[in-house]
Structure 1
Amino acid sequence: MPEQHPPQPTATAAAPTRLDRVLNGIERAGNKLPEPFILFVLLTLVVAMVSTAMAAAGVSVTVPGEDEPTAIRGAFTGEGLRFLFTGLAANFIGFPPLQTVVTIMLGVGLAERTGMLAALIRLAFGNARRSVLPYALGFVGVSGSVMADSAFIIIPPLAAIVFRAAGRHPVAGLIGGFAAAGAGYSTSLLVTSLDALFAGITTSVAQTLPDAGTAVTPVSNYLFNAVSAVALSLLAGFIIDKVVEPGLVRAGFPDQEVDRDDEPAPSGDSGDSGDEPHTAVRAELTDAERRGLRWAGAAFVALLAAVLVLVLVPGSPLRNDTGGYLPESPLLDSVTTLVFLAFFVPALAHGIAAGVIRRSADVPLLMGRALADLAGFIVLAFILGQFIALFSWTNLGAWMAVTGAQFLQGIGLTGYPAILGFVVLASLLNLFIVSGSSLWTLMASVFVPLFLLLGYEPGFIQAAFRVGDSATQIMTPLNPYMIVLLTFVRRYQPSAGLGTVIAKMVPFVVPFWICWALILTVFFAFDLPLGPGQGIHLAP
């Protein structure tokens, strides 16, 4: 039976719409920025100079809850130069996204290069209606925070494969997967480690106050999160289907990957091996692929059983000191390891059963090819690590958060407008401090006491923070995973720059922000519970 190929989306440019022209303008402006490496070199120099000037002026900030003021530390001082010279390698190797990306891509790369991902996706979505895919992707992306930062690495490339297999534009899957995972990062139908982390930060701040309000737990925002997850999933699907993909087609954006792999194939590879599954998607599974998937499924079940035994056994090393898992535990710190194993073990079984892996040397060779695609990101991680470490060390982030809070107090915002002002401030600070836990640590220490005095529960302020914490992070160059997305996009358009991906994110930012703010407003207006036992106003 001859191979059947799904219909491919056309890439013929059409007349741009008004939105296309606006986004094209953003893309052109963004692409005038220097290359990411040079951009972050310049930003690091700016942080160094600004911090030095502020340190020389004796600028400091008092974070609520701390006894002593926090001084701005200058990069071009004796202390700063010691930090830069002694921490250069540690800042690079210790850059958290580098650890997450490289580790997970070793497993994902093996799953991709053995053909397991392409075969699994064709099996799962072979009969799926293509019209449903954007909304399914929206739901998976918005709920992806259950995988923590791993969602930014896993969802976009898998979505590209799914879209192409269904005859849709693969870059729409890339863009939509990243946007849904990022703009909806703080919400999910499931309780995640982020819920526990935020609750722990909120509780630690509130407990220092005479009237701490209702205790905040990992489920204090569950009802708000569940409603938000459904609404944002549908919104993400609509934007992918009606805005992003048509815009890519009108612009003639390439829907085929550029072939840059001229290395010799490992011993088990052949034209049907699935070495490049994303560029040779077949409609039907071969006997070898079906056998491989059966082995992969058995391997995954065995792995899952082993992990469950390890987790559930009394005295498990993955439990915390109290014998549980929340708010913190080695299990929640093992997300990267678990995701790696979830890809690596089944992929190894699939590769052996399908005949792609015929000798042990094939395994590191296939994994190495996946890392080759990340070479540019690894180089960028060097300067990204320096920038993030220096920005944190100088205390500029703390100064920005406290100054913003004082500004709200100074202009006299009260009532619900003050809540919206807080959300706007969180959105702006999120452009500079992408880490949600770091930003909430800073903002909670300032705003939880402030809004408690105004009669609002800490759990409600935490919910409001979620709105501002996520939407804008997908459009800032300071988001390290933006560089990972750019790496994926350049597989299709090597000339793509930061402006390209920023412009593709813009259609998600404002609708997500407005939708989520409206949901918060509805909960506030009708005084609905945010979660079990969690209200909005302090009890009289």
Structure 2
Amino acid sequence: MERIGNRLPNPFWLFVILALAVIASSWAGATAGMSATDPASGEEIRVESLLTAEYASRMITDAVENFTSFAPLGLILVCMLGVAVAEYSGFIGAAIRAAVGRIHGGWQLTFAIALAGVTGSVASDAVYVILIPLGAAAFRSVGRNPVVGAMVAFAASSAGFNSSLVLNITDVLLAGISTSAAGFVDPDYVVSPLSNYFFSMASAIVLSIIITVVTELFVTAHAARTMHDDEINYEAAAFTKPGNGEDAAAGGGGAPEAPRAGGDSASAEELAEELALDPVERRGLVAGALAGAAVLAAWSAALFIPGSPLRGAGDGILNSPLLTDIVVPIAILFAAVGIAYGMRVGSIRGSADVPAFMERGMGTLTTMLVLFFAVAQFTAYFDWSNLGRWTAIRGAELLTRADLPPLVLFAALVLMVAALNLFITSGSAQWALMAPVVVPMLMYVGIAPEVTQMLFRIGDSPTNIITPMSPYFALALTFLQKYRPASGVGTLMSLTIPYSLAMLIGWFAFFVCWYLLGIDLGPGVAVR
């Protein structure tokens, strides 16, 4: 897989080729009269040819808008403004060293990063840009391959996106779609955002264990066999440890000397010394923690006090912009702790240092920005052609016509969702198209909408990390090449496929056990 995949062109050109393939496919589909009926609206969805004067003009006039309105672009840029301050002030490095200094680099570190990733969906898509570099830095700090740490974080954040220890916006979004779909059978049926919470919370632990097992038993050994020590850029994953004088004002005095893969170049004592915090750093962490607590207190007050202007419509909490657009609060939180830490340790000596750190953070995203231009055009063409909607509707109809025993039907649904997710990476869009068909169909055979929704979540997440259609696949590749410049698409695929398969099979097996035991999916929601 790695050898073949690395023969693929640069991701920028790969998406250019895919965009051209969409144009050709749209012409073939339109010529063949391909169409499907949207079960939600009754609208007939026809595949439209992009080989027309109208769409040729749109490819020119909408190119800039396609790029600037590409959702992950603004999200990552805004998030990085805050993360960069926390990173280059030295706060993130010190905080990780404080955390991993108590963990001796074994499976406990892997599990901790995995659990943080699967729960990180509370931060929405911002979890990718936060956790992937943190995972690499944590592994590097204990003498392990930073590429493996980055892959643990990516697998947990992306393939485990639909599980979490805490309630998040995904629960609210999917529940709303499921309620509308259930209305075709029972107009009074309501799917609660808490309907999958018990299983989702337990799944976070199970998926973290699966990620840990795959990492320790396969991925670590695979990386050791295929990656030579001199190919790894340990400095790229090093902690930013502030020094004194000019070094501190510049945001860090340089990283410690990098250990070799597996920690051969550093004894346990040397690694402990590298991770040790000096008194100034400890005081800086306290200052950062206090600033973070103040931001969280203000956030909680704005969210939970009745009548707050930042509550949602109808004075709601779950529809508050503080939750639906949580990337801005996250950026503010990281900036606040970074500023407090930097002022305390001396890495921030004036107001000009803060935007300087932000500029440095933006500089790390230039490769991704170039790639996202091609991705945005491809995504727009796929939407204009209706190929994605046609595929989802026809796939759902095939499942509707099947007459299978419950567990076989469950497996078929999960596999279909996983396959469609390779092409339609937006979980909410895919569920909005599928739910009006599969939810009523399964209700007629005695399967609750909450169960169908959970099966969708199981199929939707694990294949996120193996589809180049996902913009975060490209983001992960950018980070991978930062730590190992020789890496390509094949390298990333060879590292992520084991996680994807293990999580898909393991998560579904866990659901089967849960189903056979008859444990409630959520408060008052029976699984059978």
* TM-score, with structure 1 as normaliser: 0.88
Tell me whether 1:54 sits opposite 2:29 in the alignment.
yes
**Structure 2 runs not aligned, ≥5 long:** 259-270
Partner of 2:415: 424
Partner of 1:152: 128
Rounded to whole Å, the distance in 1 between the matches of 2:236 and 2:138 is 19
Tell me whether 1:143 sits opposite 2:119 in the alignment.
yes
Tell me whether 1:295 sits opposite 2:287 in the alignment.
yes
Q: Number of residues paired by the alignment?
A: 507
Rounded to whole Å, the distance in 2 between the matches of 1:260 and 1:453 is 53
**Structure 1 runs not aligned, ≥5 long:** 1-25
Q: How does 1:247-396 map to 2 (within 5 A)?
A: 247-251=222-226, 252=228, 254-257=231-234, 268-269=246-247, 274=252, 276-277=254-255, 282-326=274-318, 328-396=319-387
Q: Deviations over 1:178-236 (max 9, x none)?
A: 001111110112111101111011001212x1336852111111122122111111111
Rounded to whole Å, the distance in 2 between the matches of 1:221 and 1:311 is 23
Instruction: Indicate how the Cα distance of structure 1 residues 525 and 285 shifts in structure 2: closer, same or farther if over 3 A, else same.
Output: closer
Whichever residue aligns with residue 293 of structure 2, its letter is V
Whichever residue aligns with residue 327 of structure 2, its letter is T
Same amino acid, percent of matched pairs: 38
Rounded to whole Å, the distance in 1 between the matches of 2:393 and 2:516 is 28
CA contact (8 A) 1:268 1:362 kept: no
Partner of 1:165: 141
Whichever residue aligns with residue 99 of structure 1, its letter is G
Rounded to whole Å, the distance in 1 between the matches of 2:385 and 2:405 is 32
Q: Deviations over 1:289-324 (max 9, x none)?
A: 233223222221222222222223332222122111
CA contact (8 A) 2:5 2:491 kept: yes
Partner of 1:91: 66
Tell me whether 1:486 sits opposite 2:464 in the alignment.
no
More helix by share: 2
Task: Compare 271-280 and 362-371 and name the one that shifted more.
Answer: 271-280
Task: Compare 65-74 and 457-466 and name the one that shifted more.
Answer: 65-74
Partner of 1:19: none
Partner of 1:243: 218
Whichever residue aligns with residue 518 of structure 2, its letter is D
Rounded to whole Å, the distance in 1 between the matches of 2:42 and 2:352 is 59
Rounded to whole Å, the distance in 2 between the matches of 1:189 and 1:463 is 15
Deviation at 1:453, TM superposition (A): 2.3
Partner of 1:201: 177
Partner of 2:446: 455
SS at match of 2:425: coil
CA contact (8 A) 1:64 1:446 kept: yes
Deviation at 1:459, TM superposition (A): 0.8
CA contact (8 A) 2:46 2:386 kept: yes
Whichever residue aligns with residue 324 of structure 1, its letter is G
Instruction: Indicate how the Cα distance of structure 1 residues 363 and 331 shifts in structure 2: closer, same or farther if over 3 A, else same.
Output: closer
Tell me whether 1:190 sits opposite 2:173 in the alignment.
no
Q: Deviations over 1:398-440 (max 9, x none)?
A: 1111211232345544533122111111000011111111111
Partner of 1:20: none
Rounded to whole Å, the distance in 2 between the matches of 1:344 and 1:275 is 20
Deviation at 1:259, TM superposition (A): 6.4
Which of 58, 61, 77 does residue 102 from structure 1 map onto? 77
Deviation at 1:98, TM superposition (A): 0.8
Tell me whether 1:81 sits opposite 2:56 in the alignment.
yes
Instruction: Indicate how the Cα distance of structure 1 residues 531 and 498 shifts in structure 2: closer, same or farther if over 3 A, else same.
Output: same
Whichever residue aligns with residue 59 of structure 1, its letter is M
